[in-house]
Structure 1
């Protein structure tokens, strides 16, 4: 423990990290505040602050990859990310997770774990690395960008890790936005009740913001609330989802000399905050403060990721990972649709 504390309180490390942390923070906070002020909305179009931060970071890469910024950029993309993901737990209570009955829990669980497992297998079918399938599967199945960053932190590092995470963040956001626009029009074709439609939106759309947008498009406050709650059930499964990924990676044993992924201890902070919130220890103001801090820190981490990502390398990723994301999106939607139909029998 003393060594761990010393590592983060080392004055030399702190001083070396300051320029990069300041740069990533400036980009991330600016993107976050632009969203709060409505500057990222053009008519009915909305550009999430995560995407703004990612692209600004990538645009500044020629200057920001200087050695002066490297330690702080790396710190922002790793440590600040872990803190941001942990703070997400303060948005949830264990009571909320089961308030809608058994069906939303089943929908969320199958969407999360089914998509991760399917992602690992589908990646093989496309001739892609298993870890890319686990990364995209977690992002599609759980909660978009935050899940991609959490999964990326738990997976073994390799030379294309940052590129893969950046691709996943952008790709999942784009597909989630398309789903937000299209899925509300499927209620008639699916013959869903209002509650079933809310489970579909919350279970099949990747990001919380897009779930809320789709719920608002339905014009029914109850559908919006139930859709967001179903989505938050998926967010609540971030800890077991990442532990599932770690188990998947290590279940057959590592090759000789290969590095094993570190236990994702930051996710236990997520669970601890959810438990404290369940006990009623956080007022609405405290919950909002945690939520804002989480959003800012994750946006700063995304900015750092953009700085570390080469556009040329991203463009070279090819069509197969894009196809993988679309197939995973179709898979999670199909799982949710079939699970909702099956729930009518119970």
Structure 2
């Protein structure tokens, strides 16, 4: 079902059916809302294995294929700004999460869990952080809430943030760093990048986001240190770097040597767009705002405050980088 939604949305865009006068609805938005509309049907057991594959395997493949658009020269040209943004976004958000949880009267561990998810890479970071934190009766519920909540809020950010470029007075590169540094999950970063309609912004946003993803292991170790310094025992968590990160970097390396002619780059780029659109359809199917609202207001408010915090950190860092 996700393949049908994603491919149909992509074809509609190619044929110009998503354009109404000067208005353009990106295929990702079409796929997202169609997926949400079909959620009551698409969450049937017969469809969920395919939805899971689309939301994870196809997403990672689509992001990995984006590497064909980059070269190491592009990465070096980015300078230190994406690296600094990624580091501050990850570790700053985790620390802020622990403090904000106390302000909201919530467990500190929930703040660390949500902070890691918001700061690093969404669901994968939530699972890794959950394995590192001490177990308690509500552990599974907290992890499930974090995965669902971050996905929903990140989807809202994907839709809203591309429209902030003129307000923030950002260049194309600064906008790509903002998208990659402030949006939680890789799929939504890719979606926001594609909404900008600029392949370079998309690639640079993914590059910045992958720098955050690469910090998953030190982020989890930071959480373990935070917990153990208070005398609590942490579980044994050994998260592995995402394999699609190596695929992305491998393709970028091969492209740096000029091994991909323009025709191949165009074909792979199109395949990447289709796969990411299919993955966005899966995210739409999995997103339930009603279930999110039923969790309670304080944890939801915590996620929104952390989302605002990481966005402000990225914005401030980008403005500060202009002075150097």
Q: Which residue of 1 aligns with 2:168?
A: 183
1:92-113 per-residue CA deviation (whole Å, 9 max, x = no partner) reads 00122234xxxx4112211222
**1:90–1:291: 8 Å Cα contact kept in structure 2?**
yes
Q: Which moved more, 1:59-68 or 1:271-280?
A: 59-68
| Cα distance in structure 1, aligned partners of 2:15 and 2:71 | 29
Runs of at least 5 residues in structure 1 that lack an aligned partner in the other structure: 1-22, 139-146, 187-196, 217-223
Question: What is the TM-score when the length of structure 1 is the normalising length?
Answer: 0.70
Query: How far is the alpha carbon of 1:236 from its aligned partner?
Result: 2.5
Choose which of 246, 266, 269 in structure 2 pairs with 1:268.
246
Question: What is the TM-score when the length of structure 2 is the normalising length?
Answer: 0.74
Q: Which residue of 1 aligns with 2:36?
A: 58
Q: Which residue of 2 aligns with 1:166?
A: 151
**1:25–1:300: 8 Å Cα contact kept in structure 2?**
yes
Residue pairs, 1:202-241, within 5 angstroms: 202-206=176-180, 228=200, 232-241=203-212
Choose which of 253, 259, 279 in structure 2 pairs with 1:281.
259
Query: How far is the alpha carbon of 1:156 from its aligned partner?
Result: 5.5
Q: Which residue of 2 aligns with 1:322?
A: 304
Choose which of 102, 113, 119 in structure 2 pairs with 1:137.
119
- The answer to whether the aligner puts 1:118 opposite 2:100 as a matched pair is no
**1:51–1:170: 8 Å Cα contact kept in structure 2?**
no
Runs of at least 5 residues in structure 2 that lack an aligned partner in the other structure: 102-109, 132-142, 181-188, 228-232
Q: Which residue of 2 aligns with 1:292?
A: 270
**1:121–1:130: 8 Å Cα contact kept in structure 2?**
yes
1:116-151 per-residue CA deviation (whole Å, 9 max, x = no partner) reads 22222232233253343333334xxxxxxxx65776
**2:83–2:211: 8 Å Cα contact kept in structure 1?**
no
**2:145–2:292: 8 Å Cα contact kept in structure 1?**
no
**1:93–1:278: 8 Å Cα contact kept in structure 2?**
yes
- The answer to whether the aligner puts 1:338 opposite 2:320 as a matched pair is yes
Query: How far is the alpha carbon of 1:330 from its aligned partner?
Result: 1.8
Q: Which residue of 2 aligns with 1:79?
A: 57
Task: Specify whether residues 211 and 162 from structure 1 end up closer, same or farther in structure 2 by C-alpha distance, changes over 3 A only.
Answer: closer
Query: How far is the alpha carbon of 1:274 from its aligned partner?
Result: 0.6
Q: Which moved more, 1:252-261 or 1:235-244?
A: 252-261
Q: Which residue of 2 aligns with 1:14?
A: none
Task: Specify whether residues 334 and 257 from structure 1 end up closer, same or farther in structure 2 by C-alpha distance, changes over 3 A only.
Answer: closer
The DSSP-based 3-state class of the residue aligned with 2:317 is helix
Q: Which residue of 2 aligns with 1:243?
A: 214
